[in-house]
Amino acid sequence: MSRAHRKNEHIYHSLKKRPTRADFKDINFIHNCLPNMAFHQVSLKTDYMGRTYRSPLFINAVTGGSQLAYKVNLALADVARTCNIPMAVGSQMAAIEDSSCTGSFTIVRKKNPRGIIWANLGTYANPEMAARAVKMLNADALQIHMNVPQELIMKGGDRDFRDMSRRINEIVKNIEVPVIAKEVGFGIAREQAEALLEAGVRAIDIGGRGGTNFVAIEGSRSGRYIPESLLEWGIPTAISLIETADAIKDRIGIFASGGMNNALDIARALSLGAQAVGLAAMPLSILVKYGRRAVIKKIYDLENELKLIMMMTGSCSIADLQKAPLVITGYTSEWLERRGINPDNFARRSLA
Ligand SMILES: Cc1cc2nc3c(=O)[nH]c(=O)nc-3n(C[C@H](O)[C@H](O)[C@H](O)COP(=O)(O)O)c2cc1C
């Protein structure tokens, strides 16, 4: 099967409705009845990788390498330009291997000449491929994705992951733009967050369980039976984010993604320590069903709802939101205690 065909199948199969469990339900804000601030003071500005961004939202890696991917990337680039948010392309391996695919990626830079665009490759990439991917888009950063469960389930997928950390470090050492290490929906635990920090990446996108599920996608592509135990594999987005934030402690950027579909979960993720929030399947499915303008409206709606939630917690800024008290209950609290993270630290912190 051609790579282009596989890319199209990923789009089709990702659109199938599945129950999602990003597991933010245990993360509770406390209403602030005395915010002592005005709505116009609420700012969504955020800082990471050495610059300031208008909004914490970004469009995460989705596609490239086919005619359908060209159309999707063209439309998403238009959304990113209109909303002034960063956008990542899907894996550029297709264009590295076959230059006739390049246009489905470069359209993103053509459509958005001054925007923030992130290149994307897997951990199999070497520094030379990484340099080509960045140059192709005049990219501002490079995402390196980790997707072991997907490769294991995919027919003909990789089986050898011995050198992942070293390869990431090789790319970091040889490339001029910041490197973002990202999972694609199975989450990152504190031990691997520490290893990625050691490898020199400038940001970690935890890509947790609860949204797009590549075990399910590869299962439905192949038509094979996939047991429930594998379909539920991964660290939920909320837990992965708390573990990673605890390990990283502000030394590099932290992005939350994986089922980030509503403003309350976005606010919870920012409050737990993310500087940015990535959206992939949600903008893709709105685009396919309702078109580009509906995606733009959705981004603005999410930003407005996020501001309302910030106001109701008394937060003028994302830095404030990260000091707002959070009560972490249930399964998440139990998990954190077993992993040596005290959930009471979130409940007792304060904005004052
Ligand atoms: C159709 C589709 C294709 C994707 N392709 C890539 C890819 O090429 N590279 C990558 O790093 N992530 C890829 N992703 C993963 C997303 O960037 C993101 O990490 C993941 O979907 C979780 O976010 P979500 O729940 O908002 O979809 C893809 C996601 C979708 C839905």
> According to the model, what pLDDT value does residue 22 have?
65
Confidence of residue 163 (pLDDT cuts 50, 70, 90): very high
Return the pLDDT at 351: 86
The answer, yes or no, to whether residue 21 has pLDDT greater than 80, is: no
**95-117: b (≥16 Cβ within 10 Å) or e:** bbeeeebbebbbbbbebbeebbb
* Residue 298 Cβ contacting ligand 1 at under 6 Å: no
Nearest CA to ligand 1 atom 21: 212
Q: Would the CB of 178 count as within 6 Å of ligand 1? A: no
User: Between 237-248 and 330-338, two packed helices, what is the crossing angle to 10 degrees?
Assistant: 40
Candidates 78, 54, 56, 74; CA nearest to 66 is 74
- 117-127: average pLDDT: 97
* pLDDT class of 127 with cuts at 50, 70, 90: very high
Give yes or no for residue 103 having a pLDDT over 90: yes
Mean pLDDT of 199-207: 98
Counting from 1 in the atom list of ligand 1, the atom nearest the Cα of 185 is: 22
The answer to whether residues 143 and 105 touch, using CB atoms and an 8 Å cutoff, is: no
**Mean of all residue pLDDT scores within the chain:** 96
- Ligand 1 centre distance from Cα of residue 184 (Å): 6
8 Å CB contact between 60 and 279: yes
Q: Please give the Cα distance from 252 to 198 (Å, whole number).
A: 11
Task: Determine which helix (DSSP H) or strand (DSSP E) holds 122, and give its type and residue range.
Answer: strand 117-122
Ligand 1 atom closest to Cα of residue 211: 25
The residues near 123 (Cβ < 8 Å, ≥ 6 apart) are: 144, 145, 146, 161, 164, 167, 168
Task: Calculate mean pLDDT across residues 117-124.
Answer: 98
Tell me how far the alpha carbon of residue 55 lies from the centroid of ligand 1, in angstroms: 20
- 234 C-beta closer than 6 A to ligand 1: no
The residues with which 257 forms a beta bridge, in sequence order, are: 278
Nearest ligand 1 atom to the CA of 90 is 8
CA of 323 to the centre of ligand 1 (A): 30
In this structure, the residue with its CA closest to atom 19 of ligand 1 is 184
Task: Say how many Å lie between the CA of residue 170 and the centre of ligand 1.
Answer: 24
CA 316/CA 320 separation, integer angstroms: 6
For residue 147 and ligand 1, the question of a CB distance below 6 A is answered with no
Q: How far from each other are the two terminal CA atoms of the chain, in whole angstroms?
A: 59
Categorize the per-residue pLDDT at 20 as very low, low, confident or very high, splitting at 50, 70 and 90. Answer: low
- Expressed in angstroms and rounded, the spacing between residue 297 Cα and the centre of ligand 1 is 21
Quick check: CB of 91 below 6 Å from ligand 1?
yes
Q: For 36-49, how does the pLDDT look when each residue is reduced to its tens digit (9 = 90+)?
A: 999 999 999 999 99
Helix (H) or strand (E) holding 264: helix 263-271
* 200-219 burial: b if 16+ Cβ within 10 Å, else e: bbbbbbbbbbbbbbbbbbbb
CATH number, position 153: 3.20.20.70
Contact 94, 65 (CB under 8 A): yes
Name the residue type at position 258: G
What is the band of 257 on the pLDDT scale with cuts at 50, 70, 90? very high
User: Does any ligand 1 atom lie closer than 6 A to the CB of residue 219?
Assistant: no
Q: Structural domain tally of the chain? A: 1
| Residue of 12, 17, 45, 49 whose CA lies nearest to 261 | 17
Give the lowest-confidence range in 10-14, 39-43, 82-86, 103-107.
Answer: 10-14
Instruction: Convert the pLDDT of each residue in 313-327 to its tens digit.
Output: 999 999 999 999 999
Q: Is the CB of 281 under 6 A from ligand 1?
A: yes
41 CA to middle of ligand 1, Å? 34
Q: What is the mean pLDDT of residues 5-19?
A: 83
pLDDT of residue 179: 98
| Mean of pLDDT values over 98-111 | 97
Answer whether 258 contacts ligand 1 (Cβ < 6 A).
Answer: yes
Report pTM.
0.97
Residue pair 109/117 in contact by the 8 Å Cβ criterion: yes
- Percent of the chain, pLDDT > 70? 98
On the 0-12 / 13-18 / 19+ scale of CB atoms within 10 A, 129 is middle
Centre of ligand 1 from the C-alpha of residue 27, in Å:
25
Q: What pLDDT is recorded for position 15?
A: 87
In ligand 1, which atom is closest to the CA atom of 88? 17
Given this model, what pLDDT does residue 16 score? Answer: 82
The domain containing residue 31 runs over which residues? 3-348
Residue 305: which residues within 8 A CB-CB, separation 6 or more? 262, 263, 264
* CB burial of residue 32 (10 Å; 0-12, 13-18, 19+): middle
Residue to substitute in 89, 204, 206, 212 for testing ligand 1 pocket (most ligand atoms within 8 angstroms of CB): 212
How do residues 268-294 score in pLDDT, each as one tens digit?
A: 999 999 999 999 999 999 999 999 999
DSSP 169-202: HHHHHH-SS-EEEEESSS---HHHHHHHHHHT-S
Please determine, for residue 18, whether its predicted confidence score (pLDDT) is greater than 80. no
Measured from the CB, is residue 62 less than 6 Å from ligand 1? yes
Q: Where residue 1 falls among pLDDT bands split at 50, 70, 90?
A: low
Ligand 1 lined by 8 (C-beta under 6 Å): no
State if residue 63 touches ligand 1 by the CB under 6 angstroms criterion: yes
